[in-house]
Amino acid sequence: MTANRPVLAGVDASEPSYAAVRWAAREAARRDTTLRLVHACVFEGTPAHEHDELLLEHIYRWLHRAAGIARDWAPGVRVETAVRLGLAVDLLLEEAADAALVVLGSHGLGGLRGALIGSVALRVAAEAPCPVVVVPGHQPVRTGPVVAGIDRSESSEHALRFAFDEAAATRAPVLVVHAGEDDADLAARVTDWRRKYPDLEVRTRVVPERVPARALQHAAPDARLIVIGTRGRGPVAGGILGSTGNTLLAHAACPVAVVH
């Protein structure tokens, strides 16, 4: 159902934004779909206003640079760009309804100085109907495993599906982590996924840590991606992601995928 849907990336001139474009470009190329680069803005007056014209000039320059970065990182990827008027969160959530995946930088230009995670990334990750990947800026190339954090909820199965698919595409090992007391059925829950992906190296680990976010970060410090599910409850950001998602999005050194 998502085969022809685009990979959507929010763009401004921040380093995390361009890091997100690089990640999204490779993902769009491997999915053989379009990379849609979107910038949302609010004008002070009309587009004819002198300040607004200057802002538009900067926006198109940002999008042009982002499209160039995408083609450099994923030659041949199909790229389309769009400028939309309105609040970033509202427009990105609207666009996400038709996207296979949303990729965002952890902070944007409008972010609060000193904040650990931008409000746009946090809300979109919490409320989007499709998976969302949040990418930190200044990210070194990581060659470690794809880490999937699971519990006993149904959402963990969606996280496992996403994690194994990403690992297969990048030829990376998979590390499935459960935080807390010993989970006797952890190996059994991964058995079917091992069969579906027989060429992947798969490990499981139970981490006796009461804080799941800390367990996921410590399990593989060199992780290339951390994948978590969400139970999808609650009407506001934070109520949906909970402390694990919020903490990972704020502190993880690698991209974090939130799979609804």
Residue with tokens 């903490």: 247
The pLDDT of residue 5 is 96
- Cα(103)–Cα(139) distance, rounded to whole angstroms? 15
In the CATH hierarchy, which top-level class contains the domain 146-259? alpha beta
pLDDT digits (tens, 9 = 90+) for 27-48: 999 999 999 999 998 766 555 5
> Are the beta carbons of 99 and 6 closer than 8 angstroms?
yes
Q: State the sign of the Cα–Cα–Cα–Cα dihedral 117, 120, 121, 124.
A: positive
Residue 1 confidence (pLDDT)? 46
pLDDT at 233: 41
- Stretch(es) of the chain classified as CATH 3.40.50.620: 7-135, 146-259
Instruction: Give residue-wise pLDDT tens across range 199-249.
Output: 999 999 988 877 888 889 888 889 999 999 986 443 333 334 677 888 898
Low-confidence residues in the chain, pLDDT < 50: 1, 111-116, 232-240
Give the β-pairing of 35-41 and 79-85.
parallel
Residues 77, 193: Cα–Cα separation, whole Å: 30
User: What confidence score (pLDDT) does residue 44 get?
Assistant: 61
* CB-CB contact of 122 with 246 (8 Å): yes
Q: Where are the alpha helices (DSSP H) in the chain?
A: 15-31, 50-73, 88-96, 119-127, 155-170, 186-196, 212-219, 242-251
Say what the pLDDT of residue 116 is: 47
Cα–Cα dist 207/4, whole Å: 38
N- to C-terminal Cα separation, the chain: 15
Tell me which CATH code domain 7-135 carries: 3.40.50.620
- Find all residues with CB under 8 Å of 99, minimum gap 6, and list them: 5, 6, 7, 8, 36, 130
